[in-house]
Amino acid sequence: MPVSVSKLANGLTVATDPMPGLQTAALGVWVQAGARCEAPHHLGVSHFLEHMAFKGTTTRSAREVVECIENVGGYLNAYTSREQTAYYARVLKDDLPLAVDVLSDILQNATFEEQEIARERSVITQEIGQCIDSPEEYIFDVLQESAFPDQPMGRPILGTVETVGNMTRAHLTDYIADRYGPSTMYLMGAGAVDHAALCEWGEVSFSKLTEPRQTAAPQAAKWQGQPFLETRPLEQAHLCVGLPGASVHDADFFTAQIFSEILGGSMSSRLFQEVREKRGLCYSIYTYNTSYEDCGLFSIYAGTGGESLVEIVPVIVGEIEKMTNEIGHEELARACAQGKAGILMGLENPQSRCEWMAKHLPRFGRVQSADELVAQIEAVTIDDLKGFATRLMETERPVLTAIGPIETLESYSQFAARFGSAR
Amino acid sequence: MPVSVSKLANGLTVATDPMPGLQTAALGVWVQAGARCEAPHHLGVSHFLEHMAFKGTTTRSAREVVECIENVGGYLNAYTSREQTAYYARVLKDDLPLAVDVLSDILQNATFEEQEIARERSVITQEIGQCIDSPEEYIFDVLQESAFPDQPMGRPILGTVETVGNMTRAHLTDYIADRYGPSTMYLMGAGAVDHAALCEWGEVSFSKLTEPRQTAAPQAAKWQGQPFLETRPLEQAHLCVGLPGASVHDADFFTAQIFSEILGGSMSSRLFQEVREKRGLCYSIYTYNTSYEDCGLFSIYAGTGGESLVEIVPVIVGEIEKMTNEIGHEELARACAQGKAGILMGLENPQSRCEWMAKHLPRFGRVQSADELVAQIEAVTIDDLKGFATRLMETERPVLTAIGPIETLESYSQFAARFGSAR
């Protein structure tokens, strides 16, 4: 991959991944600040700030911010995760200087007017309501909280109705001063983009950044799994099992990905075959593997009729346990092929290429090439996978979350006894 | 666009859209058969068939079907809409012959074993439950039904728990004999694909197709809008307004798209600005424009706290009404730019290119070029848009659907009086 990386005089890191033949470009600023950087009194400030960036600057009204990009057919968006906040655009090639200008404007010159803050409290409160109403989304929020209770890593990205209701202008400006600056921000472009040009625009546009006051890493995460069970009048019971996964620096990082692929990553995976194809117990069942700086969360989701909960939980745990002593070469080869093809397909999408750089650069100081990634995937062995299965089965405090008609679900102590030393 | 189209000796249409530089290809078979082709006694058969295609053929077990594609890192999937059913794969370049072979196998040699049918009844029943539990998804199902009640166009794609429970092998094989054949099927590829090669593989692999018994168009849709109101213990009220839109052959087809863009297609749209940015009433509000062979459904979705329903409904209708007499040149220019950029961005994705061909070929007998589409978008005038707004406001039986805490929602007769001759 022809990725170029430069550090500008203003301290900002710029990275580009040009794709010949494209007429459009994906562009964005990724900030190393997310929900796990927050203190309890301003929960949700990372995400609130992401909203407020679109609410006007010293030279553009809120409407002008979005109109100037949408006038040329582009779009502007943003998201907040637990470790990053991203502000990004997709535009035609010729509109890249405009996109850099707008991104630099919303990140340096946002005005945070009181009236806009008041309105956004209401919008985000609505967003929280929408999340709670979507059981397949909400269950992952409570999963995170149940894995890491009473600590920054477990708190909801959106904040709570209470903390959002109490959000002030000072919370926002303090948070920016604490966490946003050239050493925590990465300007990335992929597609129809030229490295020298992006560096030049970045140098001019991001001249007002100052170093963040807080450079300490956020509080380390500590796994303290517990249950979350909520009876709701739904058609389906929505269920997650959560176990400690691999951090991004863990020797098992690639093992965890291949393991997830084999257990529940595709239609030929063990859980899909056993739970849906053989038993017909559900429509959706899949694994989800999230890696953070210092920890990981490995989870299995299933949506099923309440009467099937008795059957499905032992099957899920049983499939993990089986992988402690029996994994086929064919399964491993298939998961590797899926991992490799996924990399190639991602390379054909400019937004994916930006995400890739945004994951690698802050963590490793460079962007791993497709060949390097493939080599690491191919290095995963059956013994590694069995070892990872054993590691999952040794969990002392597994997480069990369930929402819906869950009256027949086994107790948490029964569930926990399937893992750890109680086994 | 360098799209090539051929009709093979076996009657099948093949179309390809090669993209230089890509290592992967999107490939699929689009069948001109969907939920609106169904009779009441076998509702959901199109979608049931889509599921059963993956459940084994005369030479491959269900597991072998998915494994042979996933072994090489590809994936296989399918979807059912009201007018089409699609079976598609994404694979690396060298695996295209395999993908054609598998698609032809599942479409010609599926065995439909009784045991598999029984299991799939259960899986699809779970899928129906999952849909009902997702208010933002379910509300679009009831919107369709409320616009076209008691007729094929209004029925749910998944069928009902009852019709799925009664689905038999004969329903499936009859439906294939009725609707699947060379004249209703299109083999399409985009990305790293060669037209001559795809034609050759298609000729060899699809030799068993026979002409469908039913060639009549499905029953014409008749707009008969009515309300659907369901109180549910949710955080948010999920609301849709539905109005008769433009069919794919309607002179207003492109007008409807531009209109939708201006009213609720982006962050600079009227509804987003008025309802979210100015009033802070919701997190999600957007328009949705669906065009069928003989009709269209234009809808507006909003999710909001129950107490805001009193305010939001008049605002939504008011914004449509305003467009009957006041639309700015700048708004039109922006919507055109968005439409054009959307086309260019779609061109950079092989799956989008396949969808594009699948929309055009059966309808028009050819694939419109990007330039043609752009010209039609640019031809839309402010008068066209005002005319379309007037057309929407003249609706005699508008649809209103709402799910959640909807106690404060106005009555259907109050709502309907905002439209039509009652105005």
Please give, rounded to a whole number of angstroms, the shortest distance from the CA of A334 to a CA of chain B.
Answer: 4
List the catalytic residues of A. 50
Q: What is the rounded CA–CA span in Å between residue B357 and residue B355?
A: 5
Can you tell me the mean pLDDT for A29-48?
Answer: 96
Domain parsing of chain A, residue ranges: 4-205, 227-422
A163: closest CA of chain B, how far (Å): 17
Report angle CA B252, B256, B257 to the nearest 5 degrees: 125
Provide mean pLDDT across the span B272-296. Answer: 96
Fold classification of B4-205 is: Cytochrome Bc1 Complex; Chain A, domain 1 (3.30.830)
Instruction: Decide the pairing of beta strands A399-404 and A227-231.
Output: parallel
Higher pLDDT, B40 or A271: A271
Nearest to B308 by CA among B262, B276, B332, B272: B276
Cβ neighbours, 10 Å, residue A239 = 26
pLDDT the model gives residue A112: 97
Distance between CA atoms of residues A420 and A407, nearest Å? 25
Q: Which of residues 289-308 of B touch A (CB under 8 A)?
A: 303-305
Structure letter (DSSP) for residue B13: E
Interface test mutation site (partner B, options A94, A267, A272, A334, max chain B beta carbons within 10 A): A267
Give the minimum alpha-carbon distance from B215 to chain A in angstroms, rounded to a whole number: 33
B339 with A303: Cβ contact below 8 A: no
Which of A63, A90, A341 faces B73 most closely, judged by CB atoms?
A341
| Residues of A in Cβ contact (< 8 Å) with B236 | 126, 129-130, 133
Smallest Cβ distance to B129: which of A23, A129, A305? Answer: A305
The pLDDT value given to residue A423: 79
pLDDT of A209-233, one tens digit each?
Answer: 999 999 888 999 999 999 999 999 9
Q: Cβ contact (<8 Å) for B283 and A124?
A: yes
Question: Nearest chain A Cα to B348, which residue?
Answer: A22
What is the per-residue burial (b if ≥16 Cβ within 10 Å, else e) of B324-356?
A: beebeeebbebbbbbbbbbbbbebbbbbbbbbb
By 3-state DSSP, what share of chain A in percent is helix, strand and coil, each rounded to 5? 50, 20, 30
Instruction: Report which residue type is found at A352.
Output: S
| Chain A nearest-CA residue for B233 | A233
Q: CA nearest B121 in A: which residue? A: A280
Sign of CA dihedral B98, B104, B106, B108: negative
Question: Which pTM was predicted?
Answer: 0.94
Q: How far is A422 from chain B (nearest CA, A)?
A: 34
**pLDDT value, residue A1:** 54
Whether B256 shows a pLDDT value over 80: the answer reads yes
Please check whether residue A421 touches B, CB under 8 A.
no
pLDDT band at A174 (very low <50, low <70, confident <90, very high): very high
Q: Which helix (H) or strand (E) holds B349?
A: none
Tell me what pLDDT residue B382 has.
Answer: 98
- Residue A225 to chain B, least CA–CA distance (Å): 27
Hey, what are B356's tokens? 């594009």
Average pLDDT over residues B300-323: 96
A306 versus B248: the higher-pLDDT residue is B248
**Are A367 and A3 in contact, with CB atoms under 8 Å apart?**
yes
Give the C-alpha separation, B236 to B305, whole Å.
5
**A76, A120, A134: which to substitute to probe chain B, counting the most B Cβ within 10 Å?**
A134
Query: Residue A98 forms beta bridges with which residues?
Result: none
Choosing from B50, B83, B120, B319, the catalytic residue is: B50
Instruction: Identify whether the C-beta of residue B216 lies closer than 8 Å to the C-beta of residue B390.
Output: no
Domains B4-205 and B227-422 share a fold: yes
* Contacting B residues, span 349-378, partner chain A, CB-CB under 8 Å: 349-350
Considering only CB atoms, which chain B residues are within 8 Å of A156? none
Question: Which tokens go with B236?
Answer: 């948010």
Measured between beta carbons, the chain A residues lying within 8 angstroms of B67 are 268, 334
User: Region B415-423: what's the mean pLDDT?
Assistant: 91
Reported as half-sphere exposure (CB side, CA atoms, 13 A), residue A271 has a value of 31
Rounded Cα distance between A300 and A318, Å, is 13
Distances in whole angstroms, Cα of residue A396 to Cα of each of A152, A393, A421, B367: 21, 8, 7, 59
Mean pLDDT estimate for chain A: 96
**What does the alpha-carbon distance between residue B351 and residue B347 come to, in Å, rounded to a whole number?**
9
C-alpha–C-alpha distance, residues A382 and A182, integer Å: 43
Confidence (pLDDT) at A35: 97
Instruction: Annotate B386-415 with DSSP letters as a single string.
Output: HHHHHHHHT-SS-EEEEEES-TTSPPHHHH
Using a CB-CB cut-off of 8 Å, the residues of chain B touching A73 are 337-342
Flag if A235 and B92 touch (Cβ within 8 Å).
no
Question: pLDDT tens for residues B372-398?
Answer: 999 999 999 999 999 999 999 999 999
Query: If DSSP codes are grouped into helix, strand and coil, which group holds residue B300?
Result: strand
- Closest by CA to A185, choosing from A362, A36, A50, A368, is A362
Q: Which of B319, B330, B242, B243 is nearest to B279 (CA)?
A: B319
User: How near does any CA of chain B get to the CA of A19, in Å?
Assistant: 10
Of B66, B135, B344, which is closest to A133 when you measure between CB atoms?
B135
Subunit contact A338:B70, Cβ cutoff 8 A: yes
pLDDT at residue number A2 = 80
User: Could you give the CA distance from residue A209 to residue B234 in angstroms, rounded to a whole number?
Assistant: 43
* Cβ A306 vs Cβ A406: under 8 Å: yes
Chain A: closest CA distance from residue B210 (Å): 30
Question: A43 near A167, Cβ under 8 Å?
Answer: no
Q: How many CB atoms lie within 10 A of CB A79?
A: 14
Confidence tier at B401 by pLDDT (50, 70, 90): very high
Residues B339, A73: C-beta atoms closer than 8 Å: yes
Q: How confident is the model at residue B264 (pLDDT cuts 50, 70, 90)?
A: very high
A62 touches B: beta carbon within 8 Å: yes
What is the side-by-side strand order in the sheet with A399-404? Answer: A227-231, A399-404, A237-244, A296-304, A282-291
Residue A27: its pLDDT value, please? Answer: 98
> pLDDT at position A50, please?
96
- Find the mean pLDDT for residues B37-59: 95
Q: Are the C-beta atoms of A70 and B338 separated by less than 8 Å?
A: yes
E strand or H helix that includes residue A187: strand A185-191
Whether residue B114 lies within 8 A of chain A, CB to CB, comes out as no
What is the three-class DSSP state of B218? coil
Q: Tokens 């439409």 label which residue?
A: B339
Q: Answer whether B94 touches A (CB < 8 Å).
A: no
Section A188-193 average pLDDT: 98
**Per-residue confidence (pLDDT) for residue A18, from 0 to 100:** 96
Write the ipTM.
0.91
Give the A:B interface size as CB pairs under 8 Å.
Answer: 197
The topology (CATH level 3) of A227-422 is: Cytochrome Bc1 Complex; Chain A, domain 1 (3.30.830)
Yes or no, beta carbons of A234 and B70 under 8 Å apart: no
- pLDDT above 90 covers a percentage of chain B that reads 97
Asked if B130 lies within 8 A of A334 by C-beta distance, the reply is no
Contact B136 A132 (CB under 8 A): no
| Burial environment of residue A352 by CB neighbours within 10 A (0 to 12, 13 to 18, 19 or more) | middle
For chain A, what percent of residues have pLDDT higher than 70? 100
- pLDDT grade, residue B1 (50/70/90)? low
Q: How far apart are CA A98 and CA A104, in angstroms?
A: 10
Interatomic CA distance for residues A398 and A241, integer angstroms: 7
Asked if A268 and B66 come within 8 Å (Cβ–Cβ), the reply is: yes
